[in-house]
Chain A
Amino acid sequence: MVMTMNDSNTSDLAAPPRTADEGSRVVRAGFIPLVDASVLIATAEFGFAEREGIKLDLVKDVSWANVRDRLAFGQFDVAHMLSPMPVASMLGLGSNPSPTITPFSLGRGGNAITLSTRLFERMTATAGLSETAGALENARALAMVIKDMKARGETVPTLAMTYPFSSHNYEFRYWLAAGGIDPECDVKLVVVPPPLTSDALAAGAIDGFCVGAPWNMVASERGVGRIVAAKQDIWPSAPEKVLGMRPDWTESHTETVSRLVVALDAAARWCDRVENHDALAAALADPRYIAAPVQIIRHVLAGEFNLDAKGNRRVIDDYFRFHGGFANYPRPSQALWIYSQMVRWGQAEMSPANARAAASAYRPDLYRTALGGASGPPDADIRIEGDKDGDRFMDGHVFDPAHLADYVSGFAVRSIRPATPGTEDA
């Protein structure tokens, strides 16, 4: 297949030596229909896998628990996963924890928080919120509304995320807590599958949600929701989805893993280029993939947000980062940040052994093996996060992985229930 790539990096076209027999190079990959599966879909759809001698079979699934189990049972070789899933698996959290690692992040961005238009109107009325209020102001306004609701004996809002071990869960909680809302007792957090969020909001079953693209925009364009925060407002560097795989499969397929990472890297560069977004949007909109209107996907890729149906718009630079800024590098300090949030919300215990297990889920060594030693970022794998302009946490906290316990106890709002030893499987 002829590639339409302007990449100067063509010297790596020489076929790598076939060192060991790893069986067929058919790789079965599970995915959930979301825009952040773009790199994986582009790898299969635009010839990047083929160029590396891999046939990438994409299998659409409906739930993260299914993706996790089917990867564990060998029905999938690799899978599009939430960035906390490999971390949870290495910590033995969740129903069927099976070791999972990632050599490659599928990019950053894509999430947002949407509240029902009714709730947002109440926030505007109660807090005198302007139409251009930022993420933190919105969170504080919601805190005022919730206080009012509690005083009147009303039921607190029901808010949805996608999975207990999801970026959405931690980002939603981060945003709420930054506004002074305790996610454990000031709201009711539930799980709703992404494609159902917009309908659930319209039906009044939930009052808000945090989910990946394009579902926020789907709700705002329908006029049922108002986008109040994007992932970039909460922490721009937060990893979103990763490519998960079993450690044993990784070890027995080193050549395939390397080729796959090379293919994904090329696809990620391609996805970042604006001139490819029309082709990408068309592919993603296909019923085999996301099955959503191509126009919405095209806007999402451009970071053009219709915050509501009234015409309030916002453009977020790098709403999706598929490659730039080392977005694909599986940085262990980010795995540790995820772990810090698991401890913060009572999902995991604080211990040095757990911290080591969490960091081991992200495998920059495999990334560098495939793409060359100089492919990664120049700074340390475990670094201080959120201490630079343009990459700060919304509440101004700085994450130093060397002081995990202090970081967690430094949050005014955190879970009061400590994780019970040995019962993390609940």
Chain B
Amino acid sequence: MRMQIVAATVVAALSISAPTHAEISESDNQEIKLLKQQLDSLKHDYESRIQALEARIEATAINAQEARSQAQQVSQELAQKPARPEQGKVSSNSFNPAISLILDGRSTSIDETELSLPGFQLGGEAGLPEDGFATGHNELVMSANIDDTFYGELSTAIVREAGETEVELEEAFIETLALGHGLTLKAGQFYSGIGYLNDVHDHAHDFADRPLVYEALLGGHLLDTGVQVSWLAPTDTYLRFGAEFLSGSEYPSGDNGSNAEGFSLFAKTGGDINASSSWQLGASYYTAEFDVREAGGHHHHGGEEESGADNELLNGEVELYGVDFVYKWAPQGNPRERNFIFQAEYFFRDEDGDAEFVEGADFAEAYYDGEQYGYYAQAIYQFMPRWRIGARYDYLNADNDISDYVDGGIPLDEFLEESGLGDEGNPDRYTLMLDYSPSHFSRIRLQYSQLDTGHEGADDNDILMLQYLMSLGSHGAHKY
């Protein structure tokens, strides 16, 4: 700017001094014109040079700012370089899948470890915890995006039962990432998308054991092999629809000829009420046909082998309907200090088949048509960082019709009792829990529950459990 003023002054001074001659001749005029032209060109020259200078000054300022930030970054890089020689180096293990390990251990005081619920032929993993010290489901999960098209996950449970260590395959599936349009395909062995808790691994549950309705009607979880297709609607309100084509050979179904007899449907919707609270509502349906379903749960102490009886359901069909609801609250949507979760699920199961019970030389046969339902409702409150309390209520009800009874040496009463089909009472359970989480990755839980199996004259089963749950390795993301 200053240079411009100087130039203008010079030009002005010259232009003032020019017309001081008293007489102006033609040649003078010519000369003046020439001078003026020279002056003009001089002026023009100065102006353009000044402009160029100004532009350069501006550019320098910008460059200086950039240089400063670059210098800052370089100095940071230099500071970090010796500490991180591997930066930028691609080693083969950087492509390893994310590994997460869950350690689960517990000490239990329980009156009766055998789970028997009148009116329910148990199967799958249904059962009660062992008395005393035991490790639970130590779970190893590996997952990664396989490429830009697929995601893959494997989860196994390493459990110790009846003095033997077993590795159980929980989930092994692939999932599409790039179909778009809200479509996702999943294939392999996976927890079905029905219900709310069904596809939540046990370690992510808010209690040390599963709701009774899951034990009784789904054998813990509906875990099957097949294909799942789900579609998310392009709406502001969350709306997801899913269908599954499953082997249908897992409880509550059983062995079947084609290994492709299971089918399920589910729908979920949900949203935010305000910044602090949100909800989700789901509805599910599952159906399967089977040739043979072996009754008897997956007893953690080998109860199945103890009884020498064969308890089966032949040529059966099962249908299951469910509704689930979850409500979550946290002040301003920040759950770190305090938060509250309410969840409830209801399932109704309609099944029929030919019941067959064989014990040594004696046998019994009947046509069985059962309608059973159950629900649970639970509330969890984190009242301060690290500490949560929770309460849960479970209820089950069975209404079984037994007809065309064939007595092969076993009276009807005994058959009803031993096959698990007699619907003499309504099991229920009250549970309280308190847990403490020193960090995001560790949790210690104390839980007390009182189980009334519904058997006539049976005492309540008091269960007191102290459990630890630890998460090692990658941050496992838990679903809503």
Do the two chains belong together in a single complex?
no
